[in-house]
Structure 1
């Protein structure tokens, strides 16, 4: 019986390590894809002078605690509204739902949005927009906040993976027009995950 118990514990430990390794591989694959996109002159948001010396984005260490399975509350009766951007452009969004989760002992109600124009395109009909700001902004991460890409969930939960948080294009090039995260998406937390600030955007 003792040997069986030890074998079970070792098996559980092995599976846990295997799952963690698999998750890290998933995030590193995402990071590599992002770096490949930014290194591609046809797809990169970087200015030409920065593209020539681009060696890769800087990321926070991968931390699985920032992959959150949140309760998802669908909010079907919200009215469309415009989100301010870094230019005069005013894209129209609607709050699609609210993700409820707890992180670092804090309960968070995190709205997610759908772009009314994008949802008319087949490729983006189930795309949800999750912008946010947090207490790393202007220090380790971009001062204007970051984004997470989501898809409409089929059930009553949604995965928010802050390890896949990325900077808006205007963090790299002033020619872009980027939505500014609403105040409702300001997290009173340090989200030490995802893409870090680009160059001189960090204060220290």
Structure 2
């Protein structure tokens, strides 16, 4: 009897945790949609938001990563899809295990944004994976993190928060192309899918 009670209790805790995470992610996605209506440069209007599509929340894509700082302040240029370049600093490297594979992602910092108070902690992870050009945008997807998310050389990276660049919705934007070092040889079936409306 005690075993059954303990088992039921553990199951209930796990269920509540999963629901809490789903609720948290749903709130994040609603805030993401709302940002399109606040940005004067936004490629989307109210009616377009219904065409935003996402994978179902999957906690297996919340990954514990080791972080190593890159001790270099040299700027380098990342190509954009409109043929231009943007300057970044390679801030560090994340290493982690996903789908049974040892993987890594480079983390970048914008020298322009780091001078702005509201973006001084902003870090940028552009990437491609095996869903790119299929279930997800062919030009890759992005993740944003903060320097304050990194604690004692560790970071919890949530691929459920992968989002599309503006180029996925409309032409006329200068979106960074994910460098080859951030092309992952696995399918990240999490985060935002391809936009459901042609442009």
Question: How much does 1:13 deviate?
Answer: 1.9
Aligned length in residues: 196
Gaps of 5+ in 2: none
Gaps of 5+ in 1: none
> Is residue 118 of structure 1 aligned with residue 116 of structure 2?
no
Runs (4+) of structure 1 moved beyond 6 Å? Answer: none
Change (3 A) 1:73 1:41: closer
1:148 aligned to 126, 136, 143, which one?
A: 143
CA contact (8 A) 1:72 1:156 kept: yes
Question: How much does 1:147 deviate?
Answer: 0.1
CA contact (8 A) 1:78 1:94 kept: yes
Once residues 72 and 12 of structure 2 are traced to their aligned partners in structure 1, the CA distance between those partners, rounded to angstroms, is 47
Q: Secondary structure at the match of 2:30?
A: helix
CA contact (8 A) 1:37 1:43 kept: no
Change (3 A) 1:43 1:164: farther
Once residues 34 and 156 of structure 1 are traced to their aligned partners in structure 2, the CA distance between those partners, rounded to angstroms, is 28
Partner of 2:194: 197
Computed over aligned residues only, the root mean square deviation of the Cα atoms, in angstroms, reads 2.0
> Is residue 163 of structure 1 aligned with residue 160 of structure 2?
yes
**TM-score with structure 2 length normalisation?**
0.90
**TM-score with structure 1 length normalisation?**
0.88
